[in-house]
Amino acid sequence: MGVTIEDIKKLKELTGIGLTDAKKALVEADGDFDSALETLRKKGLTKAEKKGDRETREGLIESYVHSNRIGVVVEVNCETDFVARLPEFKEFAHQIAMQIAAMAPVYSTIEDVPADVYEAKKQELLASDALSSKPAEMAEKIVEGQLKKHFAEQVLTEQVFILDDSMTVGERIKEQIAKSGENIRVSQFRRIELGVSE
């Protein structure tokens, strides 16, 4: 497969890297665009994970209203005012607000789930009749999987991203970190649905 200038430009736009790096990635992937994108995405996510501990004191508050029935206000943080003012950062924050409106998460990250809530759900699952005949070690593993599934719906970063179901919201955040070169996190959000009180 050959490397086309269109593919180089497309790869540059999708990943935020330079033209030379985009061309190099495509050459290394023998012109296979998807393979080059996947390789760059993995590299970007690795770099993003290293940035995950840096302080985030800037950012913005984004709002989204869906059909005048669901409203969301979300605080998305980054490291600098420069990144916070970029149109792509605002667009990213808007996507997160839409995700919250559509999927109604309760917590931002798995670390935000209170220990007592997590433990109560774990004990409830362990006490099920279906597990009573299983060995303790196997029951623990089954419950771990059930807990992951249960909280995947309630935790924003664990949810499937509504605009691209090949990734989770957590992976979408890491992708944005890789593009911006700064740590990014969703600090807090509030979702209001007409006729539904907490």
Average pLDDT over residues 31-41: 78
Contacts of 171 (CB under 8 A, 6+ apart): 45, 161
Same domain, 104 and 125: no
pLDDT (mean) for 120-134? 81
- Is it the case that residue 59 has pLDDT exceeding 80? yes
Say if CB 29 and CB 39 are below 8 A apart: yes
The reply to whether 135 and 77 lie within a common domain is: no
At 11, which CATH number?
1.10.8.10
pLDDT in tens, 106-117: 999 988 999 999
Residues 63 and 99 in one domain: yes
Q: What is the CATH number of the domain that holds 128?
A: 1.10.286
pLDDT value of position 3: 81
Q: 32 with 120, same domain? A: no
Same domain, residue pair 73 and 15: no
Is the per-residue pLDDT at 118 higher than 70?
yes
Spatial separation of the C-alpha atoms in residues 149 and 129, rounded to whole Å = 19
Half-sphere exposure of 133 (CA within 13 A, CB side): 2
Domain span including residue 173? 58-108+155-193
Report residue 171 as tokens: 């992976």
Least confident of 43-47, 48-52, 53-57: 48-52
Answer yes or no: do 94 and 189 share one domain.
Answer: yes
**Are the CB atoms for 182 and 83 separated by under 8 Å?**
yes
- What share of the chain has pLDDT > 70, as a percent? 89
Contacts of 142 (CB under 8 A, 6+ apart): 131, 134
Q: For the chain, what is the total number of helices (H) and then of strands (E)?
A: 8, 3
Q: What is the pLDDT of residues 167-197, one digit of tens each?
A: 999 999 999 998 888 889 999 999 999 988 7
Q: Which two tokens stand for residue 18?
A: 């330079």
d(C-alpha 161, C-alpha 151), whole Å? 15
Name the band, by pLDDT with cuts 50, 70 and 90, for residue 74: very high
Q: Do 77 and 164 fall within a single domain?
A: yes
- Same domain (yes/no): 168, 89: yes
The domain tally of the chain equals 3
Better-predicted residue by pLDDT, 161 or 52: 161
Residue type, 21: D
Mean pLDDT of 36-56: 63
Q: Domain check: are 11 and 83 in the same one?
A: no
Domain co-membership, 189 together with 132: no
With respect to residue 198, please indicate whether it lies within any of the assigned structural domains: no
pTM: predicted TM-score of the whole model, two decimal places: 0.67
Q: Residue 46: its pLDDT value, please?
A: 46
Taking 70 as the threshold, does the pLDDT of residue 65 lie above it?
A: yes
> Is 82 inside any structural domain?
yes
Nearest one of 95, 111, 115, 114 to 103, comparing CA atoms = 95
How confident is residue 163, by pLDDT bands cut at 50, 70 and 90? very high
Can you tell me the mean pLDDT for 49-53? 53
Residues 47 and 66 in one domain: no
Q: Are residues 92 and 149 in the same domain?
A: no
The rounded mean pLDDT for the chain is 85
**Span 93-108, average pLDDT:** 96
Cβ–Cβ under 8 Å, residues 107 and 155:
yes
Please report which confidence band the pLDDT of residue 155 belongs to, taking 50, 70 and 90 as the band edges: very high
